[in-house]
């Protein structure tokens, strides 16, 4: 099955520093990748949708200058949390889809294992 690798799985950083999270599709080409944030005991919230070679589309309320997304290749997307603050501490999860044209195939998202970010 399709595998999505996320790295690192856990990161602790000081307030004001930037953190980069990588999301890789290991055995398929991901035309679209998604970045989610999940706070404790809450559901996943979509932050942005990223298509290879184009600018990411951010959800309402998500600061694009703070959460920089780069999708430079069909197998890699990165999320950089710039000038991180304690309120950015959360569980960040990426997913990837092949974006196939058939009705069901285009909707299958494969999730990474997540990255726990703790900002001190």
Partner 1 sequence: KNQVEQSPQSLIILEGKNCTLQCNYTVSPFSNLRWYKQDTGRGPVSLTIMTFSENTKSNGRYTATLDADTKQSSLHITASQLSDSASYICVVADMNYGGATNKLIFGTGTLLAVQP
Q: Residue numbers of the site for partner 1 (CB under 8 A)?
A: 4, 6, 31-32, 34, 41-46, 49, 57, 91, 93, 95, 97, 99, 103-104, 106-114, 116
* Torsion angle (degrees, nearest 10) of CA 66, 70, 25, 22: -50
Distance CA 79, CA 37 (A): 11
C-beta closer to partner 1: residue 77 or 95: 95
Cis (ω within 30 of 0) for the bond into 108?
Answer: no
- Cβ proximity of 98 and 108 under 8 Å: yes
The least CB distance from residue 107 to partner 1, in Å, is: 5
C-beta closer to partner 1: residue 86 or 103: 103
The least CB distance from residue 72 to partner 1, in Å, is: 19
The least CB distance from residue 42 to partner 1, in Å, is: 7
Q: Identify the residue whose tokens are 């009705």.
A: 103
C-beta closer to partner 1: residue 28 or 111: 111
Length of the chain: 120
């Amino acid at each position: 099955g399709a595998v999505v690798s996320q790295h690192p799985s856990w990161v602790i950083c000081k307030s004001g520093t930037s953190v980069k999270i990588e999301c890789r599709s290991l055995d398929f080409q991901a035309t679209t990748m998604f970045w989610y944030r999940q706070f404790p005991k809450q559901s996943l919230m979509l932050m942005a949708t990223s298509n290879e070679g184009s600018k990411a589309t951010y959800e309402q309320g998500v600061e694009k200058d703070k959460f920089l997304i780069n999708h430079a290749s069909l197998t890699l997307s990165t999320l950089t949390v710039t000038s991180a603050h304690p309120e950015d501490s959360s569980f960040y999860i990426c997913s990837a889809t092949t974006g196939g044209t058939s009705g069901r195939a285009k909707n299958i998202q494969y999730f990474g294992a997540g990255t726990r970010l703790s900002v001190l």
